[in-house]
Structure 1
Amino acid sequence: MRQTSSKRKAIEFSPYLVGTMRLGKWGENFNTKQWLEFIEKSLALGLKDFDHADIYGDYTTEADFGKVLKENPHLRNEMQITTKCGIRMPAEKRPKNKMKTYDSGDKYILQSVENSLRNLQTDYIDVLLLHRPDFLMNPNEIAETFEKLRDDGKVRFFGVSNFTTSQFEMINSVFPLITHQIEASISHLNPFEDGTLDQLLVKNIRPTVWSPLGGGNLKQKENYKLNQELDKVFGILCEKYEVNTAQLMLLFLKKHPSGIIPVLGTSKPVRLEEALEIDSKNMEKEDWYALYSATKGEELP
C-alpha cells in the first residue's frame, strides 16, 4: 500500500455550507439575477462555503453558478467552493452515459475537474469530494490523481462523501482527507452508531452533513404512539430553547463533539438567518438523549 508523507492542512469552513442542489434545474431554477442575490445574501451573513456537485441539475447547476462569477469575478475571492465528482449519470449533457455508475479512475476525475473549473468559471476548486464510493476504486490511483490536481493548483483540499469507515480509511491512509460529507439527522442516526463520527472525531476531521433536517420528513414511521411522543419532546424542547423545529434539529447535530457542519439546502435567506441564530445556544446532554430516544422509540439499553 502506497504511503503519503503529506501532512493534513487545515481549512476553515463557515458554520454551515450553503447547498446548491435545489437552486437550479432540480428545484427553484434560479435565473442569474436570483443566483446573484442569493449568493450575495449568503456572503453577507458570513456563509462563504457553497456546496456543489457536477451532476446537480443534470450537469447544469455549476454552470448556472458560474455565470454569476463570470459577471462578478470579485465574488470568487470571498467564497469557498466545494464540488463533487465520481457519479456517471445519464443526462442530456452526458449522452455517453448509458446507465448510472461510479467512476474514480484518474482520467474521469481529471476530466470532471476540468469540466467543473470551466462551468464554475474559476481557476481552482477549494474542496473536491468523491461523491460516492466506487467499488472498483484503487486508492493509490486516487492518491496520485489528487496529488496531481493539488500540485497543479486546481484543487486545494480533498475529501469523500457517503463512504463507509473502511472505505474512508483506505483513501485517507494514502492521501490526507480534510472532510467526509455524510447524511445525518434526527431521522438518520446511523453515523452516531456505526463508527462514522467516531472515526472523524479521533482523526480531528470535521464532517459536513447533507439532509440535516431529514428532508423535512421527521415522522418516517407509521406509528401514532411514537409520533405523539416525538411531538411532545419537540414541543417541550422548542419552547425551552426558544427555537423552531428546524433549529432544534440543527442544535441536535451541533452538539456532537466532532464539529458537524450542516449543509443547508434552502433557497430562502431567512432560513439561513434562522440557522445562524442558534450558534450561541448549547443543547444539554439530557435533552440530546431525549430526542435520540424519542426518535428511536425506546429507552437506551
Structure 2
Amino acid sequence: MEKIALSPEVSLSRLVYGMWRLGDDADTSPAHVQAKVEACLAQGITTMDQADIYGGYTAEAIFGAALKAAPALRDQIEIVTKCDIIAPAGRHAAARVKYYDTSAAHITASVEASLRAMATDRIDLLLIHRPDPLIDNIETGAALDALVASGKVLAVGVSNFRPWDFDLLQSGMTTPLRTNQIELNLIANAALTNGDIAFHQRQGHPLMAWSPLAGGTLLSASQTPLRTALHRIGAEQGTDWSAVAVAWLLRHPARIMPVMGTNSLERIAHLSDACRVEMDRQTWFELYTHAIEREVP
C-alpha cells in the first residue's frame, strides 16, 4: 500500500485503521485486538488511529494490552493519538463540564498517560483533537516543540482545525504541523469548497479524513440516487459501496488518508478494496452531483 510521508521521520499508510470504537467490541482481549492489527498489516495498513478520549479513556489501554502481549507489532505500525478533550468520564470523571485544555501541563501529562497506556516509548503522530477557544499559541506551541525534541513524539498535527486555527498554532511553533484530521466524506463535503482542503493542499499538508463513510448515513433514504450510484459502481468493479465511497476520497489530489473504523474482522480484511477501485473524473463528479443534490454550476 502507498505510504504518505508527513516528515523525514514519519510516513503513514494511505488507509488508516481507526480505533474509536475499540472498546465497544464484545471481545476486547489482547488476542482479538492483535487479530485486528494483523488483518490490517496483511493489507499494508500500518497506521493505527487513537485518541486519549476514545472509549471513555479506555481504548488506548485496550490497544496497549495487545502490544504488551505481542511487542513485535510495535515496530510494524505507526501510532496516531490525540489530546485536549476533557469529558466527565474515566480518569476525568470529576470534570463538571466537557471542555478543551491545550495548556502545556495538560498536553505533557496526556502524552505521558498515552505512552503508558499503549506500552510504547513514542507516539508517531500527536494531534490536538479540537480547536481550543482559550489556546495560548505560544504555550501550546512550545509544549509540542518540546515533546518532539524529547523524542516522545515524532510528528505533530491537529484535528478539526480551520485554516486560521492552524495558522495561529503554527505561529507559536518551530516544529511544522504536518496534517489536519477533518470530517470528510461524500455528504460532509464542505471542505472541498470552503477553503479547508485548498489551504492544506497549497501548503503540501496531507489530510486525514475521519468518518469517511458518514457513519452509515450514505445509505439513508434521503440519499437514494447516491446510494444507487454507489451500489452500481461497486457492482461494476466487483466490490461494495463502501469501497467506492472511500475511493472517491482517494481520487482527490490532496493525498487524503481515510480513517476506517470497524470492529468486524471480515470488514477489516476488505478495507484495502478501495485502493483497487478505478475512479475517473466523470465518475467522481457523478457521485459529487448526487451528494450535493444538484448539478455543479
TM exceeds 0.5?
yes
- Aligned residue number for residue 205 of structure 2: 205
Deviations 1:93-134 (A, max 9, x none): 223322100110100100100110111111111100001110
Contact 2:85 2:99 in 1 (8 A): yes
1:156-195 alignment runs, 5 A limit: 156-175=154-173, 176-195=176-195
TM value normalised by structure 1: 0.90
Shift of 1:159: 0.5
Residue 18 of structure 1 aligns to a residue whose secondary structure is strand
The answer to whether the Cα contact below 8 Å between 1:157 and 1:178 also exists between their aligned partners in 2 is yes
1:285 to 1:46, Cα distance in 2 relative to 1, 3 A:
same
Superposition pairs of residues 237-252 of structure 1, within 5 angstroms = 237-252=233-248
Mapping 1:225-244, distance limit 5 Å: 227-244=223-240
SS at match of 2:243: helix
* Post-superposition offset of 1:30: 1.6
Give the corresponding residue for 1:13: 12
The amino acid that maps onto 1:273 is A
Equivalent position amino acid for 2:198 in 1? D
- Opposite residue 235 of structure 2, the aligned amino acid is E
Which is further off, 7-16 or 63-72? 7-16
CA contact (8 A) 1:250 1:275 kept: no
Q: Do the aligned partners of residues 192 and 28 (structure 1) sit closer, same or farther apart at CA in structure 2, a change above 3 Å counting?
A: farther
Q: Give the fraction of aligned pairs with identical amino acids, expressed as a percent.
A: 33
**C-alpha spacing 1:173/1:280, structure 2 compared with 1 (3 Å):** farther
State the distance in 1 between where 2:108 and 2:266 align: 37
Give the TM-score normalised by structure 2: 0.92
Deviations 1:208-259 (A, max 9, x none): 1110001011155x65xxx443244334423333331101101111111001
**CA distance, structure 2, for counterparts of residue 29 and residue 93 of structure 1:** 22
Name stretches of at least 5 consecutive residues in structure 2 with no aligned partner. Answer: 1-5
Code of the residue aligned with 2:12 in structure 1: it is F
Please give the residue correspondences for 1:204-283 in structure 2 after superposition, counting only pairs within 5 Å.
204-219=204-219, 223=222, 227-283=223-279
Cα RMSD of the aligned pairs, angstroms, is 1.9
Question: Residues 75 and 29 of structure 1: is their aligned pair in 2 closer, same or farther, counting only changes over 3 Å?
Answer: same
**How many residue pairs were aligned?**
290
Instruction: Tell me if the contact between 1:86 and 1:108 (Cα under 8 Å) persists in the aligned partners.
Output: yes
Q: Which residue of 1 aligns with 2:3?
A: none
User: Relative to 1, partners in 2 of residues 1:10 and 1:192: Cα closer, same or farther, differing over 3 Å?
Assistant: farther
Structure 1, 90-99 or 113-122: larger mean CA deviation: 90-99
Hey, what's the Cα distance between the residues in 2 that align with 1:255 and 1:156?
28
Between 250-259 and 36-45, report the one with greater CA deviation.
36-45
One-letter amino acid of the structure 2 residue matched with residue 23 of structure 1: L
Q: Tell me the CA shift for residue 142 of structure 1.
A: 1.5
Describe the shift of the 1:155–1:231 C-alpha distance in structure 2 as closer, same or farther (beyond 3 A).
Answer: closer
Give me the whole-angstrom Cα distance separating, in 1, the residues matched to 2:41 and 2:61.
Answer: 19
Contact kept? 2:7, 2:155, Cα under 8 Å: no
The residue matched to 1:198 in structure 2 has which SS? helix
